[in-house]
């Protein structure tokens, strides 16, 4: 038994969900499970494997800063549902944050395994998730297998942008992250020496700052421009 009929009434007016193929809509309605999380409770933890795709229906969430120096709250109410977690489809890294419920939260969660199976069975369903991520990054998102076709500097810039903006307006703590997160077995395809050279260039240009094993993104707009290529040229 599912709550699909109730969820459909919540989701059908959403700009992203409403444009999905009917088969993908049905898969999400069947596969997603409702979670209610009380204030201060963990939704997912730093270092955990990717745990799926989420729709925030009610309440607000908090992302810890990577150095646990401060908490960040969304500056304004978000449009609901707010979709997040799709970045894990384009990344091969564990979760980089502890994510908590700031108040009483209602979520829908599509487990990672079910989502991966859906995308394997229906490769055309990758495109809607790319579009969702594109809205957050402000650049087009190439298919995973085509990221290595980007020129070197653009490839590293795209990776930095994914780390800095992958959760959109709910998280700005991700503009500080460990340098080790830049290297990715999926998609980057560059040696450490090459990545080091590009990061040094971006630091000299004032786009990022490096120190103590961390990268701080200072200028997201310039980073976005550095990532632009025929594969990432924004059509938004």
pLDDT digit string (tens) for 157-168? 999 999 888 888
CB 97 within 8 A of CB 46: yes
pLDDT at 172: 60
Comparing 188 with 25, the larger pLDDT belongs to 25
The answer to whether residue 11 scores a pLDDT higher than 50 is yes
Comparing 171 with 99, the larger pLDDT belongs to 99
Q: What values do phi and psi take at 24, rounded to 5?
A: -75, -40
pTM equals 0.85
Q: What values do phi and psi take at 51, rounded to 5?
A: -115, 10
Q: How far apart are the C-alpha atoms of 40 and 81, rounded to whole Å?
A: 21
pLDDT at 236: 58
Domains of the chain, each with CATH number or no CATH: 4-227 (2.60.120.10)
Cis peptide before 81 (omega within 30 of 0): yes
pLDDT at 235: 60
pLDDT band (50, 70, 90) for residue 80: confident
Long-range contacts of the stretch 146-150 (C-beta < 8 A, 24+):
146/231, 147/187, 147/188, 147/189, 147/231, 148/187, 148/188, 148/189, 149/231, 150/229, 150/231, 150/232
pLDDT band (50, 70, 90) for residue 224: very high
CB 232 within 8 A of CB 134: no
CB 61 within 8 A of CB 105: yes
Lowest mean pLDDT among 32-36, 47-51, 226-230: 47-51
CB 60 within 8 A of CB 105: yes
Per-residue pLDDT of 103-155, as tens digits, reads: 899 999 999 999 999 999 999 999 999 999 999 999 999 988 898 899 999 99
Q: Which residues contact 154 (CB under 8 A, 6 or more apart)?
A: 226, 227, 228, 229, 232
CB 136 within 8 A of CB 166: yes
């Amino acid at each position: 038994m599912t709550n699909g009929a109730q969820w459909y009434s919540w989701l059908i007016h959403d700009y992203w969900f409403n444009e999905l193929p009917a088969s993908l809509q049905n898969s999400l309605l069947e596969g997603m499970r409702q979670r209610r999380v009380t204030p201060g409770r963990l939704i997912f933890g730093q270092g955990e494997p990717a745990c799926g795709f989420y729709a925030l229906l009610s309440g607000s969430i908090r992302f810890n800063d990577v150095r646990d120096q401060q908490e960040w709250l969304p500056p304004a109410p978000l449009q609901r549902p707010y979709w997040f977690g799709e970045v894990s489809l384009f990344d091969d890294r564990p979760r980089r944050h502890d994510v908590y419920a700031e108040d009483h939260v209602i979520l829908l969660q599509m487990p990672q395994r079910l989502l991966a199976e859906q995308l394997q069975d229906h490769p055309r369903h990758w495109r809607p998730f790319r579009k969702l991520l594109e809205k957050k990054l402000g650049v087009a998102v190439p298919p995973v297998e085509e990221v290595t076709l980007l020129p070197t500097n653009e490839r590293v810039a795209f990776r930095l942008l994914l780390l800095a903006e992958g959760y959109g307006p709910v998280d700005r703590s991700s503009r500080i992250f460990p340098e080790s997160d830049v290297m990715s077995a999926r998609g980057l395809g560059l040696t450490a020496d090459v990545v080091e050279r590009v990061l040094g260039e971006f630091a000299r240009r004032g786009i990022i700052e490096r120190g103590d094993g961390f990268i701080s993104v200072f200028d997201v707009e310039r980073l976005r421009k550095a990532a632009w290529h025929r594969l990432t040229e924004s059509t938004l």
